[in-house]
């Protein structure tokens, strides 16, 4: 069992590790990874699907029916569909974004890649992502996958997290540092 960077220490990490091991043993890793990418996109695009996964008002049975219908509509593989059902039955659908991130990290590590979580103030275009990947590849000496997040409160710049290392070049942090320096 892999223990990549302490992933198993969290609840979402334990679920991600279980799904990863199941997918690897059944030789369905690429299909599950693609299905989870589809689910992540659905969470970002659909307020209804996000509400289904986060609302405490939806019971286990209704949540299971809802995710089963969504999985069918999204065309996810059977392993991922079953996994979503398990999350619904265990009232853990709210952990889905963290589970997906942990799974991506495990899959990238399995392929010999590193995953970087990149937060920017505005969405990055393909050219910017490619340039960032190249810079990270040069710095780390290995291929890097990026999970892109957007946080408008950063104002500008990037925050890059690779494992326990963080590179913060955001304007928000620079302004906070300047304000702190001016106080004291």
Q: In Å, how far are 17, 62, 73 from 59, measured between CA atoms?
A: 26, 5, 21
Residue among 3, 74, 88 at smallest CA distance from 36: 74
pLDDT of res. 8? 65
State the pTM of this model: 0.70
Radius of gyration of the chain (CA): 18
pLDDT in tens, the chain (184 residues): 344 455 667 889 899 999 999 999 999 999 999 999 999 999 989 999 999 999 989 999 999 999 999 999 999 999 999 999 999 999 999 999 999 989 988 998 888 888 888 999 889 999 999 999 999 989 888 888 888 888 888 888 899 998 788 888 888 888 888 888 888 6
pLDDT of res. 174? 84
pLDDT of res. 116? 87
């Amino acid at each position: 069992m892999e223990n990549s960077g302490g992933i198993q220490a969290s609840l979402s990490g334990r679920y991600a590790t279980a799904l990863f091991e199941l997918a690897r043993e059944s030789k369905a890793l690429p299909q599950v990874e693609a299905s989870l990418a589809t689910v992540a996109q659905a969470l970002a695009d659909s307020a209804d699907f996000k509400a289904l996964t986060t609302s405490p008002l939806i019971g286990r049975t209704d949540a299971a029916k809802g995710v089963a219908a969504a999985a069918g509509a999204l065309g996810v593989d059977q392993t991922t569909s079953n996994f979503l059902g398990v999350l619904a039955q265990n009232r853990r659908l709210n952990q889905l974004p963290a589970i997906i991130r942990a799974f991506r990290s495990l899959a990238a590590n399995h392929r010999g890649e590193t995953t970087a979580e990149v937060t920017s103030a505005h969405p990055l275009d393909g050219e910017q992502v490619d340039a960032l990947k190249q810079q990270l590849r040069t710095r780390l000496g290995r291929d890097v996958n990026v999970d892109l997040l957007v946080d408008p409160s950063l104002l500008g710049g990037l925050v890059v997290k690779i494992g326990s290392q963080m590179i913060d070049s955001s304007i928000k942090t620079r302004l906070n540092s300047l304000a702190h320096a001016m106080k004291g």
